[in-house]
Amino acid sequence: MAYHLYDMIIRGENMATISLKLNKEQLKLLKELYQDDVSDAQHSLYISDVYHPYDCMITVYNSGKVVFQGKEADYHASPFMIVPSFFEHAGSDEVGTGDYYGPICVCACIVEKKHQTLLEQLEIRDSKALKDEKIILIAPSLIKHLPHSLLILNNTKYNQIQNDNNMNKIKAKMHNKAYLNLTLKYQLPKNIIIDQFTPKTNYYRYLEGEEQIIKGITFETKAEDKYLAVGCASIIARYAFLRSMDKMDQHYAWSFPKGASDRVDENAREFIKKYGKDELRKVAKLNFKNTTRVFEND
């Protein structure tokens, strides 16, 4: 699996143009990711495909060159700009913090040189760049072979602690605990990376008063696109979140939507009609604005 650094980035005030040269595996992944965003625009002889998600135009040339244009060009191009390095390192990421329903899942894992073949075969990407079906397929292999620690904060516990802990403080404590759990069985590598959700100074301020604090961490934005351990942690955390949501669906014979949209609000109103207000605290993060909207006409 070969990756290529970007050939060109042009940035304007409100948009960017990113040009990449992709290999066959990457082009296949691109087609899978954007199969629902195929554009009806006419193609020239030199263009094989055009995809148009709402915030970006993606043009695929017969040569393998791909051009991403738009406000979110960086986001859409980032999974294909990875230059993986198989040095030993640990990484962590979280899932579920933007979803009204379901738990917060944090995973920390270690990647070593011996994992190279496995990760190449699985074509690891950040979980946000993978469809849930792909995550469900590959996550068990990561769980089986990679040293990792997974924490799941359920909604009942979240609602008990959120008054005294904002979301970033909760995430900081969970990341720290995940690394501490890893140290019980493994020696942490010299390089430890967190996908930055708050500045370093704030992260350690949130941990003041904790008995043990893991130090020497590197904080980087979009780290899941740069470091395999963070990407793997992201996939394992997403897998745990999906499994938790499935269990909730089965327990309540209900379909809980992801995210925090108006559709989620309507779903919550119907859920309350069937199961009552008290049951909502077991499945939702009550400090989200969704709760206010759900009860505003109550």
Per-domain residue ranges of the chain: 8-80, 89-247
Query: Does residue 186 sit in helix, strand or coil?
Result: coil
Over the chain (298 residues), the average pLDDT of each successive run of 10 is: 37 69 86 88 85 90 91 82 71 96 97 87 69 91 96 98 96 98 95 92 96 93 83 95 98 96 96 96 97 84
The whole-angstrom separation of Cα 217 and Cα 192 is 5
What pLDDT, on a 0 to 100 scale, did the predictor assign at position 270?
Answer: 97
Query: Does residue 277 sit in helix, strand or coil?
Result: helix
Q: How far is CA 168 from the centre of its chain?
A: 16
The whole-angstrom separation of Cα 199 and Cα 197 is 7
Q: Which residues contact 284 (CB under 8 A, 6 or more apart)?
A: 100, 101, 155, 268, 290, 291
Query: Count of alpha carbons within 13 Å of 184, Cβ hemisphere only?
Result: 9
CA geometry: angle at 230 spanning 228 and 234, to 5°? 115
Burial class from Cβ neighbours inside 10 Å (0-12, 13-18, 19+) for residue 289 reads exposed
The whole-angstrom separation of Cα 109 and Cα 182 is 8
Q: With contact defined as beta carbons under 8 Å apart, do 96 and 102 qualify?
A: yes
What pLDDT, on a 0 to 100 scale, did the predictor assign at position 1?
Answer: 30
Q: Give the end-to-end CA distance of the chain in Å, rounded to a whole number.
A: 55
List C-alpha distances in Å: 189 to 111, 120, 182: 9, 21, 11
Q: In 196-235, which positions are buried (b, 16+ CB within 10 angstroms) versus exposed (e)?
A: ebbeeeebbebbeeeeeebeebebeeebbbbbbbbbbbbb
Q: With contact defined as beta carbons under 8 Å apart, do 143 and 107 qualify?
A: no
Q: Are strands 65-70 and 16-21 parallel, antiparallel or unpaired?
A: antiparallel
The whole-angstrom separation of Cα 256 and Cα 101 is 7
Residue corresponding to tokens 């909604």: 155
Q: With contact defined as beta carbons under 8 Å apart, do 103 and 154 qualify?
A: yes
CATH fold of 89-247 reads Nucleotidyltransferase; domain 5 (3.30.420)
The whole-angstrom separation of Cα 7 and Cα 11 is 14
What pLDDT, on a 0 to 100 scale, did the predictor assign at position 215?
Answer: 94
What pLDDT, on a 0 to 100 scale, did the predictor assign at position 12?
Answer: 47
Could you read off the pLDDT of 178-214 as tens digits, one per residue? 999 999 999 999 999 998 999 999 999 999 999 999 9
Q: With contact defined as beta carbons under 8 Å apart, do 85 and 111 qualify?
A: no
Take residue 165 and report the two structure tokens written for it: 């802990």
Taking alpha carbons only, the member of 83, 232, 240 closest to residue 146 is 232
What pLDDT, on a 0 to 100 scale, did the predictor assign at position 26?
Answer: 85
Select from 3.20.20.140, 3.40.50.150, 3.40.367.20, 3.30.310.10 the CATH code of 8-80: 3.30.310.10
Q: With contact defined as beta carbons under 8 Å apart, do 193 and 214 qualify?
A: no
What pLDDT, on a 0 to 100 scale, did the predictor assign at position 127?
Answer: 54
What pLDDT, on a 0 to 100 scale, did the predictor assign at position 278?
Answer: 94
What pLDDT, on a 0 to 100 scale, did the predictor assign at position 211?
Answer: 95
